[in-house]
Amino acid sequence: MSVDVISSQGEPILQLKEIRKSFDRHGARLERSMVLKDVECFIHRAEVVGLIGGSGTGKSTLARLIMGLERQDCGSILFEGRDLEQVTARERQAMRRFMQMVFQDPYDSLAQGLTVEEIVAEPLIIHRIHRYDRKKRRELVEDALAEVALAPSSLFINRYPHELSGGQRQRVALARALILRPRLIIADEPTSMLDVSLRLELIDLMKRLRERHGIAYLYITHDLALAHRFCDRLLVLSEGRIVEQGLANEVIERPRHPYTRALMQAAMRFMPAIQSSNPVELTAK
Amino acid sequence: MNTPIARYLGFTGFAILVFMLLLAILGPFIVPYDPNELIAPAFQPPSWSYLLGTNDIGQDIFSELIMSARVSLLVGVVSALIATLFGVIAGLVAGYFGGWAETILMRLVDVKLTLPFLPLMIVVAVFLGPGLITQILVIALVIWAPMARELRSQVLTARRRGFVEAAEAIGAGGRYILRRHLLPNVTPLIIPQFVRAANTGILMETSLSFLGLGDPTVKSWGMMLFYANSRSAFLTDAWLWWLLPPGICITLSVLSFSLLGYALEERVRPRLRTSWRFGASERSANKVRPLKREPQEQDPESPEPLLSVQQLSVEYVTANGAIRAVDSVSFSVRRGEVLGIVGESGSGKTTMAAALMQLLKPPGRLTGGRMLFAGNDLASLDAAELKRLRNNRIALIPQAAMNALNPVYTVQKQLVEAILAHQKIRRSEARIRANHLLQLVGITPDRARAYPHELSGGMRQRVVIAIALANNPSLVIADEPTTGLDVIVQAEILELLTDLQSRLELAMIFISHDLSVVLSVADRIAIMLEGKIVDQSSVNSGVFHPNHPYSQRLQAALPRLKSKHTIPFS
């Protein structure tokens, strides 16, 4: 699916309008720090949007707001055109089914005492799907594990998280996010805790899932190279504001905002190997 | 896992408890007489027919003692159960839901904890009148509060954990999260808490009964003490067999619960363990094959490497035997050379750096190999020599270095201290040198009097680098010096490090999990996997030649910032 086709699709799956969020600083009410300042953005169906920025720019806060783990001070979050704050709790719960999240730390986001089967089946239990049909649930778990290339599933289904490597854990987390057939996955730095050799693997896996199921992603990262490889469109967040957005290639090749340029330069610093082996392909100006 | 001592204590406690419980359960079948029946003359001393003698009205004390075990243990355990139940519910609700529920519950706990428990217990017991149920409720009321507080704080930490947030993000409600995630998480804590509560419960039952606030229709150890005391046991020799046995029984039960509680507590709080096992100094064990020391300082032009590591091995001693973290590693660093060491988490890089600095902490242990620094075997140096060497000839830039500064001193003062630790110069001179060092790492002199919290993460990292360079080291070990920094700052710090390295002609060991970072600074690269160096290669303008399949995979995974293909836009 080419990029311009995606961006011309009708109604966005997710839309953020004038999102503001501040936190108390050291419990002092008067001194609040603004983390997000009037953030506006949208994601189309099956589109991969990268949210990039350094640490402390508010990327993770934005993800937590979308997932309902925090509440914005003002502004609205629309999922498939409906404001998450305007619907009843029951409706919101039903909408949650279609947006899932993958967290940064696969060592923390999977409960220690549960088996892979229990972890991956958790969304089914929470949303009361196949509530009394353990066999059906197990089938779905096996499917989800196969999707994330943890096969044969019999090898993994009864294991505990501590018996898995970091990359396998993150794939279990991805399987948990996939089992409800979501239309949107928020991935908050899913690769940053993984060892380098596993990062590309996970990104390519997420890419395949998008092609197969038309899942849209909000991919949060500070790694420009991975964002470039994975995303259709990029949003650059700096000090709580989106300072630049555009098609991934355009942003990478022609960064306009000084902050984006600084990010680019920082990323280039680590790519001497590429410079010499693929001199032609390095196109940043 | 428990330490041997805790296991021994726990087992003793368990054995005593089982014995007591058996006595209580089998009581009616083993007592020789009905404890309420008057079967003998008063104040009989112990004999074969009356094992513990008789009391003032001729009841058999041995039978009384055994039947009393039932009531004492029952009251203790049941009140502990009720208290645990309330404590757990209060702790979970207050910790998870917060808001007004937390405010009310925690103020209740505070009020409860400030009131002295004995007077409170007496007032409530008098008010409600004597009786077994009253007694249980009163005791439960007194002991639930500390539990609620402890569990609340545990829940507060647990609810911030990733898997709880993950369940919330999936759409789980509060009841589900409490039942499925938080309760299992605090259960290991509940069990020792319960054992401790039972312990307190038995003691309190005794106190209440001894004060005459027990149920007069049933007998417990406390009631026995109460009767013995009020019916003049002390006037005769009878106190020996009337007062001592219940006293001993109470002591034994309380002891059994305490020992068991300790063992269980240790199981859930591993920190209690460390002081036992690792208390002894293991420095002596670190000395492996001491070598005769040669006079140091070689000719800088000599081809001898500055640091030569041969067959270095480090093991961690665990409960399941030794784990080899560094396995026969050999490498060398020449003067002015940057050796990059790349490995994934757990490959032994940091352990190796600690071994080089002689900073291995137990349970880590050097088990073999030599580390020759300018001809000296590092492992054979004594404490004073090591101190002279550290930060003087060899300096470390540690992992998470931005937290390595002391928050209460200005950066200048910390630098001055570092200089004065190794150089005999005047303080004013050291201050000048400190400012010079700060300039060297790109901090202007007007920031010299700043405290660490007034500086950004990148600035603090610069200060740490300045401290490492304070005494003109010839070798710098940088262990993940840029991890955790913002990408842009990371690039600046690397720039600074490479610049300093070439200007000061430092030898550097640059350790990182990030191959691309290492390639951008290193002259030579060593790849570590599971404690071994699997590949070594020189780096030419950021390219190396991987031989081992693992390093080939690492190289293939290098990030590439190139356009995928050109997309026509019109």
Share of chain B above pLDDT 90, in %: 7
ipTM of the complex: 0.83
Contacts of A284 in chain B (CB under 8 A): 561
Cβ atoms of B177 and B168 closer than 8 Å: yes
Whether B453 contacts chain A with CB within 8 A: no
* CB neighbour list of residue B459: distance below 8 Å, 6 or more residues apart: B443, B447
Cβ atoms of B128 and B134 closer than 8 Å: yes
Which of B103-117, B380-394, B398-412, B552-566 comes out lowest in average pLDDT?
B552-566
Cβ of B386: how many Cβ atoms within 10 Å?
A: 15
Which of A117-131, A184-198, B158-172, B385-399 is the most confident on average? A117-131
Q: According to the model, what pLDDT value does residue A271 have?
A: 61
Q: According to the model, what pLDDT value does residue B503 have?
A: 87
Query: Do the strands A233-238 and A48-52 form a parallel or antiparallel pair, or are they unpaired?
Result: parallel
Contact check, Cβ <8 Å, A200/B557: yes
Whether B281 contacts chain A with CB within 8 A: no
Contacts of B456 in chain A (CB under 8 A): none
Contacts 24+ apart (CB under 8 A), B19-28: B20/B69, B20/B73, B20/B249, B20/B252, B20/B253, B20/B256, B21/B73, B23/B66, B23/B69, B24/B66, B24/B69, B24/B70, B24/B73, B24/B74, B25/B70, B27/B66, B27/B67, B27/B69, B27/B70, B28/B67
Q: According to the model, what pLDDT value does residue B82 have?
A: 94
Q: Is the pLDDT confidence value at B154 over 50?
A: yes
Contact check, Cβ <8 Å, B567/A4: yes
Q: Could you tell me the two tokens for A239?
A: 């000090």
- Collapse the DSSP code of B488 into the 3-class scheme (helix H, G, I; strand E, B; otherwise coil) and give the result: helix
Whether B570 contacts chain A with CB within 8 A: no
A38 to chain B, closest Cα gap in Å: 23
Whether B495 contacts chain A with CB within 8 A: yes
Contact check, Cβ <8 Å, A166/B564: no
Contacts of A222 in chain B (CB under 8 A): 486-487
Contact check, Cβ <8 Å, A270/B162: no
* CB neighbour list of residue B424: distance below 8 Å, 6 or more residues apart: none
**DSSP states along B276-297:** HHT-S--HHHH--S--PPPP--
Phi–psi pair at A101, nearest 5 degrees? -130, 145
Size (chain B), residues: 570
Contact check, Cβ <8 Å, B170/A270: no
Contacts of B520 in chain A (CB under 8 A): 269-272
Arithmetic mean of pLDDT over chain B: 81
Paired with A74 in beta bridges are: A20
Contact check, Cβ <8 Å, A126/B170: yes
What would the mean pLDDT of B195-214 be, rounded to a whole number? 86
Contacts of A2 in chain B (CB under 8 A): 567
Query: Do the strands A241-247 and B507-512 form a parallel or antiparallel pair, or are they unpaired?
Result: unpaired
Q: Could you tell me the two tokens for B351?
A: 């352990």
Contacts of B562 in chain A (CB under 8 A): 228, 274, 278, 281-283
Which residue type is seen at A135? K
Q: Which residue blocks in B31-97 are alpha helix, DSSP H? A: 61-97
Low-confidence residues of chain A: pLDDT under 50: 1-8, 26-28, 272-285
Q: Cis (ω within 30 of 0) for the bond into B295?
A: no
Q: According to the model, what pLDDT value does residue A284 have?
A: 38
Task: Give the span between the Cα atoms of B495 and A54, in whole angstroms.
Answer: 18
> What H or E segment, with its residue span, contains residue B332?
strand B321-333
pLDDT in tens, A175-212: 999 999 999 999 998 887 777 777 888 898 999 999 99
Measured distance between the N- and C-terminal CA atoms of chain B, rounded to whole angstroms: 68
What is the maximum span of chain A, computed from C-alpha positions, in angstroms?
Answer: 59
Q: According to the model, what pLDDT value does residue B274 have?
A: 47
Contact check, Cβ <8 Å, B163/A101: no
Backbone Cα Rg of chain A: 19
Q: According to the model, what pLDDT value does residue B284 have?
A: 38
Contacts of A257 in chain B (CB under 8 A): none
Contact check, Cβ <8 Å, B543/A276: yes
Q: Report how many Cβ contacts below 8 Å link chain A to chain B.
A: 172
Give domain limits for chain A: 110-181
Contact check, Cβ <8 Å, B561/A278: no
Q: Is the pLDDT confidence value at B4 over 80?
A: no
Contact check, Cβ <8 Å, A196/B165: no
What would the mean pLDDT of B296-321 be, rounded to a whole number? 71
Higher pLDDT, B46 or B268: B46
- Using CB atoms, pick whichever of A126, A173, A276 lies closest to residue B542: A276
Higher pLDDT, A206 or B542: A206
Contacts of A196 in chain B (CB under 8 A): 344, 513-516, 554, 557-558
Dihedral of alpha carbons B325, B330, B334, B337, sign = negative
Task: Give the span between the Cα atoms of A48 and A216, in whole angstroms.
Answer: 6
Q: Which of A195, A200, A203, A275 to mutate to test the interface with B (most CBs of B within 10 A)?
A: A195
Contact check, Cβ <8 Å, B171/A173: no
Q: Which of B157, B159, B168, B170 to mutate to test the interface with A (most CBs of A within 10 A)?
A: B170
- pLDDT band for position B445 (cuts 50, 70, 90): confident
Q: Is the pLDDT confidence value at B391 over 70?
A: no
Contact check, Cβ <8 Å, B560/A283: no
Domains of chain B: 4-20+49-275 (1.10.3720.10), 336-350+382-556 (3.40.50.300)
Contact check, Cβ <8 Å, A252/B564: no
Contact check, Cβ <8 Å, B166/A253: no
* CB neighbour list of residue B381: distance below 8 Å, 6 or more residues apart: B358, B389
